[in-house]
A = this chain, B = another copy of it.
């Protein structure tokens, strides 16, 4: 459920993939997503307030932190859980995927996906996440999710020898 606090933090976002009408990118911010699983295999997901889609927790790198610290901070902020980074499952840097925000920023996709281990905390929502849920792989299809996010989950579940590079 959306709260007043959520609404204050709300900022609209639209994704464009291979779309000739997409605005030109004017920004690149290295970002992360985290694949966190419970013992039963279910995956930690959030219902995002910025685009109303389900997604892996994650967000943009900030000056002053390492990329592993970005993963830990974003997962804690968006889900309430504490994690440790384990490995990289892929990079997603398609220049033909851009995200247009209400403030005029048009960010080119630049995301690194990490597998991370749950070490503590408990679920809570945030201004960026109206729901936090553990989802079984077989239930992913029912959720409204961007294809690029589905792909990152798929690559992580494949347990590849080496990270996907895209």
- Majority-rule SS of A interface residues: loop
Q: A30-B30, A88-B88 are in contact. Are A64 and B163 (CB under 8 A)?
A: no
Instruction: Please tell me if A140 contacts chain B, counting CB pairs below 8 Å.
Output: no
- Whether B91 pairs with A67 at a CB distance below 8 angstroms is yes
Instruction: Please tell me if A129 contacts chain B, counting CB pairs below 8 Å.
Output: no
- Whether A166 pairs with B66 at a CB distance below 8 angstroms is yes
Query: What class of interface size applies to chain A in its complex with B?
Result: 20 to 34
Instruction: Please tell me if A54 contacts chain B, counting CB pairs below 8 Å.
Output: no
- Whether A88 pairs with B165 at a CB distance below 8 angstroms is yes
Q: Report Cα–Cα, A112/B61, bound state, in Å.
A: 14
In chain A between 47 and 64, which residues have their CB closer than 8 angstroms to a CB of chain B? 61, 63-64
Residue of B nearest to A63 (CB): B25
Residue of B nearest to A85 (CB): B165
